[in-house]
Amino acid sequence: MGTLRDMNTTAPQSDQRTSAADQAGGSGSGTRPLYRPVHDRMLAGVASGMARYFGIDVLLVRIAIVVLVFVGGIGLALYLAGWVLMPEEGTDQSILTEVTKSMQGWRD
């Protein structure tokens, strides 16, 4: 058993390795990446991506989005936010990130 100082110096190193694995989306980290799949989509793939991420049936997500569209209209806003913020399968950047980078390049 080490001193408190030894424990404090070793803990951040293991935390850094875990967070790096989580950011990389490695299969050993236990987290699933949130993305819009290229296949199995009706419109932009937001519902399919959310269903895969949460491990539920895509039909349930689609029904929830439609219900939220008709109850206050928040479903449309959430779907559009998911479309803009979720990266497409095979890419690591969302549409918003790509637009922001292109605007910065245009401005310079």
Q: Each residue of 56-90: pLDDT tens digit?
A: 999 999 999 999 999 988 989 999 999 988 988 88
Q: Each residue of 35-59: pLDDT tens digit?
A: 788 887 788 889 999 999 999 999 9
Look up residue 92 and give its DSSP letter. Answer: S
The reply to whether the predicted model has a pTM over 0.85 is no
Kindly report the number of other CB atoms within 10 A of residue 47's CB atom.
24
Residues in the chain: 108
Lookup: tokens for 100: 């922001």
Count CA within 13 A, CB hemisphere, residue 74: 4
